[in-house]
Amino acid sequence: MKIAVCVKQVVSREWQLRVDESNTWIRDQDASYELNEPDAYALEEALRLKERHGGEVVVCSAGPARVSQVVREALARGADRALLVEDDRLVGADAFATASALAAALKDERCDLVLTGLQSDDSGFAQTGVVLAETLGLPHATIIMEVQVADGALRVKRELEGGWFQWIAMPMPAVLTIQSGINQLRYATLKGIMAAKKKDVKKVAAPDLAPQHEIVRLYFPEKAKATRLIDGAPADAAKELVRLLRDEARVIS
């Protein structure tokens, strides 16, 4: 089975966000980056499917040159090779532009399965995987928490709201968007990191990208609710909080 996994590089959670001079994107020159969290779960699921059914795992990422970092990480965790659509215009690109870049890399690969994360931590479109499915002419299912493959067909467990689930059956090839928590992640070993250095990373040219949206202004939201912030050293702040909860809010005795 040939499985592609789309992985996005996003600014790391610990990095302090700042808005750039244009007020349309973040000041990311000195940012630290990481693998988008659901994509790590998608990669892990692909590696497990390969262990069960044999085949190959191909990672695919679109973005500026720096995204080779997450590609290397995916290779170190066990992916076999990589496709990289390198183009600076992909920074902050909308889901259609991103999906067409990914489709350009994947269209001739004839994968049995394409996995993406359900949503990116930076743009948060929750679209790219589904648009990619439509672009490639493949069926899809989203927010997936279990993948079963038998006789060339798929049965996947889709998460619904509030603790409900649903099984969906589908032919392959197909695109699935993977939810965090579908499996337990493995991390790269030293051996994996060494092996990754020899793995093939193929660069693919980005197609023409017609933007579907324009960010006019990016900003920290104005606070709508007045939170009573308690200052001071931890011990003093703690005492004051306990007093407020007891005497004013009356939610503890």
Ligand X SMILES: Nc1ncnc2c1ncn2[C@@H]1O[C@H](COP(=O)(O)O)[C@@H](O)[C@H]1O
Interface residue list for ligand FAD (CB under 6 A):
13, 118-119, 143
Residue 126 found at the interface with other proteins (CB under 8 A):
yes
Q: How far is the CB of 89 from other proteins (least distance, A)?
A: 15
116 binds, among ligand X, ligand FAD, other proteins, none (CB under 5 to 8 A by kind): ligand X
**Alpha carbons 226 and 163: distance in angstroms, whole number:** 32
Helix (H) or strand (E) holding 121: none
Least CB distance from residue 84 to ligand X, whole Å?
A: 9
Residue nearest to ligand X (CB): 117
**Number of Cβ within a 10 Å radius of residue 147:** 22
Nearer residue to ligand FAD within complex by CB, 26 or 195: 26
The reply to whether 107 sits near other proteins by the rule CB under 8 A is: no
Using CB under 8 A as the binding rule, the residues of this chain from 1 to 40 that contact other proteins are: 11, 13, 17, 19, 26, 37
Measured at the CA of 179, the angle between CA 9 and CA 114, to 5 degrees, comes to: 70
Work out whether 180 is an interface residue with other proteins (CB under 8 A).
yes
Inter-helix orientation angle 37-53/68-77, to 10°: 40
Q: Does the N-terminal peptide bond of residue 221 adopt cis geometry, omega within 30 degrees of 0?
A: no
**Tokens for 109?**
């690969």
* Closer residue to ligand X, CB minimum distance, 126 or 244: 126
The pattern of x and - marking residues 134 through 173 that bind other proteins according to CB under 8 A reads: xx---xxxxx--------------xxxxxxxxxxxxxx--
Give me the phi and psi of 108, to 5 degrees please. -95, 5
Taking the alpha carbons at both ends of the chain, their separation in whole angstroms is 61
> Which residues in this chain contact ligand X in the complex, by CB under 6 A?
6-8, 36, 38-39, 61-63, 90, 95, 98, 102, 116-117, 119-120, 123-129
Compute the least distance from the CB of residue 14 to ligand FAD, in Å. 8
Q: Look at phi and psi of residue 181 and say left if phi exceeds 0, alpha if psi is from -120 to 50, else beta.
A: left
